[in-house]
Amino acid sequence: MGKGHPECPERIAAIQDRLMASGIWDYLLHVQAQPAEREQLLRVHPAEYLDKLALMSPAQGHVHLEPDTAMNPYSLNAAYYAAGAGVQAVDMLMQGRAGNVFCLVRPPGHHAERCRGMGFCFLNNIAVAARHALEHYGLSRVAIVDFDVHHGNGTEDAFFDEPRVQMVSIFQHPFFPYSGDVPKGSNMLNVPMPRASRGAEFREVVTEQWLPALNAFAPELIFISAGFDAHLEDDMGSMGLVEADYAWVTRQLMKVAATHAQGRIVSMLEGGYELSALARSVTEHIKVLADA
């Protein structure tokens, strides 16, 4: 994204380091992602938009989609791989090659709308993965859970008119991208939260709103837009979640998945910019997913 930008390569390195230091790294199955195919991207993004991104992609230097979202010569390729990771994760679960999957990817995706990249996002990774589950495997109910501090406007844009998808989310409000307080569809359970909300308030929302909705919907696969920028130490937002809250919500989602979805969860990294807090939070999230 350019020098000094919070959506930086060190995010991935910090997470890998922490997973190694924690001792869990060696117990995980690691799979190298492959780039998403054009037909898979076309299930979410129109050809005109994909072509525009390819035309914009620079041979050198940076080009900006908007002031805080830039591409260098490698960004678009990274975005293809990030989207492809989710597709591959769905394949692994549906073919019984994994119990659940965490996709350690960047750039993130949940702000990317069908026809517009924004908020550090070019392609909507989780939307491409969810569409793959619906269209390729013929699932009739998938849930998308989003606990990033920012509203997943792109994912809402992709699915507000899709009854096979139930989305549940929390986000700080009012805050970037200044949407979500009025849901675009009846399948969108958006819960705006005031700044300074902490774990107790978050758990109340999950217990009283998310879980009843998810259990009523009975998803066959659960996707998690796993952003960790609602962490207390993350200055990108102003909320107060900590590692224990991320572990707790992951356990709740594991229970829903065990009841309805044969345990199937695809979790994909979204935001999270304070490197230490990000790495610790992802590690706790993966420990629960791995049942370690």
Q: Cα dist. 135→41, 91, 138, 168, 266 in Å?
A: 12, 12, 5, 21, 16
Among the residue ranges 88-96, 141-149, 201-209, 283-291, the one whose residues contact Zn ion (CB under 5 A) = 141-149
Please tell me whether residue 154 binds Zn ion under the rule CB under 5 A. Answer: no
Minimum CB–partner distance for residue 273 and Zn ion (Å): 8
How buried is 213 (Cβ within 10 angstroms: 0-12 exposed, 13-18 middle, 19+ buried)?
middle
Please tell me whether residue 107 binds Zn ion under the rule CB under 5 A. Answer: no
Closest of 32, 36, 43, 39 to residue 76, by C-alpha: 36
Residue nearest to Zn ion (CB): 271
Minimum CB–partner distance for residue 148 and Zn ion (Å): 4
Minimum CB–partner distance for residue 229 and Zn ion (Å): 4
Find how far residue 59's CA is from the centre of its chain: 29
Identify whether 174 is preceded by a cis peptide bond (ω within 30 of 0). yes
Considering only residues 210 through 229, tell me which ones interact with Zn ion, judged by CB under 5 A.
227, 229
Applying CB under 5 A, among 91, 113, 146, 148 the residue interacting with Zn ion is: 148
Task: Give the bridge partners for 190, in sequence order.
Answer: 169
Please tell me whether residue 245 binds Zn ion under the rule CB under 5 A. Answer: no
Catalytic residue among 45, 110, 111, 132: 111
285 classed as catalytic? no
With contacts defined by CB under 5 A, how many residues of the chain interact with Zn ion?
5
Closest of 76, 132, 62, 129 to residue 107, by C-alpha: 76
Nearer to Zn ion, 132 or 150 (CB): 150
Minimum CB–partner distance for residue 175 and Zn ion (Å): 9
Applying CB under 5 A, among 11, 106, 150, 280 the residue interacting with Zn ion is: 150
Residue 145, SS3 per DSSP: strand
Nearer to Zn ion, 103 or 139 (CB): 103
Q: For 128, list phi and psi in degrees, rounded to 5.
A: -65, -40
Binding site for Zn ion (CB under 5 A): 148, 150, 227, 229, 271
Q: Catalytic residues, which ones?
A: 111
